[in-house]
Each structure stands twice: as structure tokens, then as C-alpha cells.
Amino acid sequence: MSTLRVMDLHGVAVEPALERIYGRVPTDGALVRLRGDASSRTYYRLHVSTPGATTPETAIVMHLPEDPSRSDEGTSRSTGAGRPPRDDLPFLTVHALLEARGVPVPRVLDVDLPNRVVVLEDLGDTTFEARLHATPRAEWPALYAEAVDLLAALHERCDAPEPDQLVYTRRFDAPLLRWELDHFREWGLEALYGPLEPRARERLDATFDTLAERLAAAPTGFVHRDFQSRNLMYAPSGKLTVIDFQDALIGPTPYDLVALLCDSYVEVDGALTDAMLDRYAAARALSAAERRQFHETFWRLAVQRKLKDAGRFVFIDRVRGNPSFLRWYAPSLVYVGRALDRVPDLAPLRSLLARTVPGFPSDCATPTHFSRTEE
């Protein structure tokens, strides 16, 4: 652990932020790097032994990448004719929206953009994923009910557009949905099993084109984009809190439920999924016709999202050199298989995947780590 006496963050000074928060640069604490995830941001936990009566003993220091406005995911922005490009910092602009709409998010304690540092409230270490794994499965419905109720409230509060707010200028449109499917083809298929034959590639492209267009035509609203078990945390008060929201945009309404209920990190059974879909539909007061469309769109989105996830996990290994997500490749494809059971017109896609991916859908192997020395 590095002491705060010579505090820096990989060469980026954090003293100005600490001076504003504590009225001094603490020398009686430590800065500990937290376990990395798939993002380009780096997180540290700040410990201060004598924080003062009104300042926190711990805080989270988020170190932004050199281009902090760039998403780790793809985005599609509809800025309008003649409107200049935007330079919003997505994390802060989306945070401001969520906070103003009453969505539980961590407090921002300080912002130092010249040094690419944001200091946040420390929520602790208990993610929704951790709580699930520490809880008997018989009690999972109550936990998921809380998460689904939070999501329904988030959507209800954030669906109303706010002029020029970043979220409402970005759309999960057909090109973006299609790009994510290509991401799977490139990394989840061809990087592992070799190039598809031309005719198979043509059929896959046609299927992906149709799927993306159909999903883009579905009803839309506010989408967190990664509302899964690692991006929900229990604050010390016990309140379920939303993090990792910087990629929020307008997209197909069921998308966040797909992230939550078809979560690569947690095995959610079909009965619980159906019960939570019904709970969300009731919370949003969907009509019978709206519910039917909602369920159909959910399962089509599950195919799209989980294919994208499978490809992303391989990409993170091959391009970013981080093999820790490879273990979630096979669980992602299990969800794809389950979703395809609910979408009969995508049977040709199931057949292609079964011919290409050994063991698809329920017995796929975990990809091996790609070492740079193999190039």
C-alpha cells in the first residue's frame, strides 16, 4: 500500500482533490488499488486514519483514462443537424441526471478533471452478486424483487427526456445492435474457431441484420446498459445502489432486465426470470398487449446481448490481455440457447451456432487464454 505522504495516481496527482475534501493532504492513510474489471478506468480505495468529524474515513478514487469521454462500449449519438459535437464527461452527466431523478447513486465528493480524478462515496464491497452467492437460492426471489423494483423506478423516473442531456442524444439503434452482433462473430466465433465459410457468413449476416432491425423497432426508453449483479451495490445503510451508469442511452425497454436476469455471473433459472418479468410489467402497468410484446422483445434481446457478451469476453482477453472473463463465455452461450428456445423463428441461428461452437448451447468449453507469444 502506498502512503499518502507522496500521493499520486500512476503519475497523476490527487493532492488537489484531497485538499478540497479534507482541508489538507492526509498523511495518515493509504491508497489501495481495487480489483480491476473490464473498464478502462482504475479504482482505488482511500483510507484515512483521522478523517475529521465531517469527512469520510474511506472514499473511492476513480482514475479516468486519457480520453474520459470515450465509452468502453460502442455508442450511437443522434446530435441533430448543425449541433456541435459534445464534450460531456458521461459519468458526471449521467450521475447528475440519476441523482436529480431520485435514483440511488454514490455521492461525488470531488472532481479534478485536469488530473482525470473523481472521488466518490465508498459504498463498501457488497455487490448484488456477492449477496446472491451468500444467500440460499430459496431466498433469491426476494433479492431479485428488490432489484427489479429499483429498475422499474429508475425507468419510470428517467424515461421523460431532458433537452440536451447526454443520455437522450445516444441511441441503441440498429447499427449499434448490429455492431455488437458482429463483435460476437469476430471474437466469439471466428477468433476461436476460424473464419466462417462464405455461405454460412451470408446466412449469419442476414439473420443478424433482421434481428438488429427488429430490436431497433421495439419500444424504447432509458437504458442503463449494464444493469447486472456487479453494477448494483449495497450501501452501508443497506440501500441497493446503482453504479457504472456512464453508458446509459435510449434503447429497447427490456434491455436492462436482460442484463439482470440473463447475467453471465449468476445462474438465474427460467421460473425466476418469468416471475421477475411479470413483476416488472406490473410495476410499469403494462397492458396485456404490451406485456406480450415486452416478453418477445426480452428474449430476442437476450440472444443479442448474450452473444455480444460472449464475444466481449474473448475480446478482453485477446486485445486487452485480461483472461479473467473467459470463464463467462460458456455461461453466456447457455443463456443464448435458453433464449433461442423462446424465439422459434431464430432456429437457423441455433443450427449455425451448434455447427460452429462445439457443445453449444449447454456444454461449451471455456476458451483458452491467448498469449502474445503465440502471435
Q: Which pTM was predicted?
A: 0.91
My answer on whether 32 and 139 are in the same domain is: no
pLDDT tens string, the chain, 375 residues long: the values are: 444 444 444 565 788 998 999 888 777 778 888 876 667 788 999 998 877 788 899 999 999 887 766 666 655 544 333 333 445 689 999 999 999 999 999 999 999 998 889 999 999 999 999 999 999 999 999 999 999 999 999 999 999 998 889 999 999 999 999 999 999 999 999 999 999 999 999 999 999 999 999 999 999 999 999 999 999 999 999 999 999 999 999 999 999 999 999 999 999 999 999 999 999 999 999 999 999 999 999 999 999 999 999 999 999 999 999 999 999 999 999 999 999 999 999 999 999 999 999 999 999 999 998 765 554
Q: Is residue 15 part of a domain?
A: yes
CATH number of domain containing 169: 3.90.1200.10
My answer on whether 349 and 235 are in the same domain is: yes
Q: How many domains does the chain contain in total?
A: 2
Q: Is residue 88 part of a domain?
A: no
Report the C-alpha gap between 316 and 318 in whole angstroms.
Answer: 6
My answer on whether 135 and 46 are in the same domain is: no
Q: Which of 60, 89, 121 is the last residue of a domain?
A: 121
Question: Which domain covers residue 243, as residue numbers?
Answer: 128-374
Contact 123, 236 (CB under 8 A): yes
My answer on whether 114 and 136 are in the same domain is: no
My answer on whether 141 and 189 are in the same domain is: yes
My answer on whether 274 and 304 are in the same domain is: yes
Taking every pair of Cα atoms in the chain, the longest distance, rounded to a whole number of angstroms, is 69
My answer on whether 64 and 162 are in the same domain is: no
My answer on whether 165 and 193 are in the same domain is: yes
My answer on whether 324 and 252 are in the same domain is: yes
Q: Is residue 200 part of a domain?
A: yes
My answer on whether 53 and 175 are in the same domain is: no
My answer on whether 160 and 214 are in the same domain is: yes
